[in-house]
Amino acid sequence: MTAPLDNDRLLRALMREPVDVTPIWLMRQAGRYLPEYNATRKRAGSFLGLAKNPDFATEVTLQPLERFPLDAAILFSDILTVPDAMGLGLYFAEGEGPKFERTVRDEAAVARLAVPDMASLAYVTDAVRQIRSALAGRVPLIGFSGSPWTLACYMVEGGGSDDHRRVKAMAYSRPDLMHRILEVNARAVTAYLNAQVEAGAQALMIFDTWGGALSSTGYRAFSLDYMAQVVDGLKRESEGRRVPVIVFTKGGGLWLEDIAACGCDAVGLDWTIDIGLARARVGERVALQGNLDPAMLFASPAAIRAEVGRILAAYGRGSGHVFNLGHGISQFTPPESAAVLVEAVHEQSRAYHEP
Ligand code: CP3
C-alpha cells in the first residue's frame, strides 16, 4: 500500500520539481475508445455497474496503463457519484448521457439537500484502496471530484444541458438558493476528496467542466469561490508527501490568474489558450496541465508529433508541465493515436529537461 513510487514524474511536475521527461496522462484515459474497456463494461452490464464495483473499477483503471507508458492512473468513477449519494438517483439513459430521477429546482428541494454520509460512497474509497494495491507503486493515483458549480449544473438541469438555462436562471434570479446548493456541494466535495486521500489518492483534480458557461463575475461568485473553499479544506499531505491539487475550468483561460490564486498547485488548460502565454501569466505560482485538442488524435501520426512539439516548445524549458488533452479523449479515438502521443511526449520533451 505504501510502496515507494517507481515513477513519480507526475507528482514532481505538479510541484515544479525537476523531471527527466514531461509526464503525460489523458483525461478519460479509461473509456470507450479502448476495446478492452467495452468488453469489461459489457460484463458489468452498464457504466454504473462498472463504476460501483471496485473489482471492475480497478480492472478498467489499469487498462490504459497496460497499453501505454502513462505517468499516472486516475480513479475510474464519475463526478456524479456525489449527487447520487445525496439521493438524486443517477441513471444513464442509453445514448443520452447522465440523468437524475430527482432534480433540485425549488426551495423545498434545496432545503432537503445535505452532505451525504461518506459510507454511501464506500464503493469509491474501496476502489481507491484496491487500485493502489494493484498499482504497486508503478505510478501515482489521481483522485477527483466535480466542482460545486459543475455538480449543481447536473443537479438543477437533471442531466446534461446545451444552454444551462435553468441553473443559470437560478444563479442570477435566486442567488440565495444557488449559494445554499453550492455551500452543501462544497462541503460534500471536500469530505469526498479527503476520503479519497485517506484511502490512498496521491493527487487530486477538481473538474469544473461548466465554469466557462458563466460570466466573469458569475464565475468568481458561483464557481471559483467555492473551489477555493474546497481546496482550503483539503488534506494536503499523505504518506509523508504533498498531495497536489489540480483545478480545471473548461473555458477558464480568461481567468487564469484568479484560478492560479485559489490555493491549487496546478491549473488545467483546455486547448483554446497558448500554453506559453498561460505560463507567462501564472509565472512560478502553479504548474500547468494540458493542452492538446483531443481532436488532434484524429490527425496523422506526423501531425500529432508536430503538435506535441509545438506545445512543448511553447511551454519551454523546465518542469511544471503535465502533458494532457484539453478535455476528455473522444470515444472515437483510434488507440494507436494515443500511443503515438504518449511516445512523442516522452521522446521530444527530454531536451527541455536537460541541465
Ligand atoms: O479520466 C478518467 O479516465 C476517469 C474517469 C472519469 C469518467 N468521468 C468516466 C466516465 C472521469 C474523470 C469523469 C468525469 C466526468 N463525468 C465529468 C468531468 C470531466 C468532463 O468530461 O468534463 C463529467 C461532466 C461527467 C459526467 C458524465 N459522465 C457524462 C457527461 C457522461 C457521458 C459522457 C459520454 O461521453 O457519453 C458520463 C459517463 C462516463 N463517465 C463515461 C466514462 C468512461 C462513459 C460511460 C460509458 O461507458 O457509457
CATH number (domain holding residue 52): 3.20.20.210
Radius of gyration of the chain (CA): 19
Distance from residue 352's CA to the centre of ligand 1 (Å)? 33
Domain count, the chain: 1
Q: Is 28 a catalytic residue?
A: yes
CA-29 nearest atom, ligand 1:
3
Note whether residue 348 is domain-resident.
Answer: no
Given the residues 16, 28, 132, 279, select the one marked as catalytic: 28
Q: What is the pLDDT of residue 220?
A: 98
Q: What sign results for the dihedral spanned by CA atoms 317, 323, 327, 330? A: positive
Q: What sign results for the dihedral spanned by CA atoms 56, 33, 137, 48? A: negative
Note whether residue 51 is domain-resident.
Answer: yes
Note whether residue 8 is domain-resident.
Answer: no
Query: Mean pLDDT for each 10-residue chunk of the chain (355 residues)?
Result: 85 98 98 98 95 98 98 98 98 90 97 97 98 98 98 98 97 97 98 98 98 97 98 97 98 98 98 98 94 98 98 98 98 98 98 93
| Interior angle at CA 73, CA 64 and CA 201, nearest 5 | 155
Note whether residue 170 is domain-resident.
Answer: yes
Note whether residue 351 is domain-resident.
Answer: no
Amino acid sitting at position 277: L
Is the pTM for the entire model greater than 0.75? yes
Q: What is the pLDDT of residue 2?
A: 63
Cα–Cα distance measured from residue 347 to residue 70, given in angstroms and rounded to the nearest whole number:
13
CA-144 nearest atom, ligand 1:
12
Distance from residue 28's CA to the centre of ligand 1 (Å)? 7
Cα–Cα distance measured from residue 343 to residue 332, given in angstroms and rounded to the nearest whole number:
20
My answer on whether omega of the bond before 7 falls inside 30° of 0, hence cis, is no
Cα–Cα distance measured from residue 51 to residue 75, given in angstroms and rounded to the nearest whole number:
10
Note whether residue 26 is domain-resident.
Answer: no
Note whether residue 343 is domain-resident.
Answer: no
Per the structure, the complete domain to which residue 42 belongs is given by: 34-285
**Which residue's C-alpha comes closest to atom 10 of ligand 1?**
78
Residues 6+ apart with CB under 8 A from 149: 182, 185, 208, 210, 211, 214, 222, 223, 226, 227
Note whether residue 208 is domain-resident.
Answer: yes
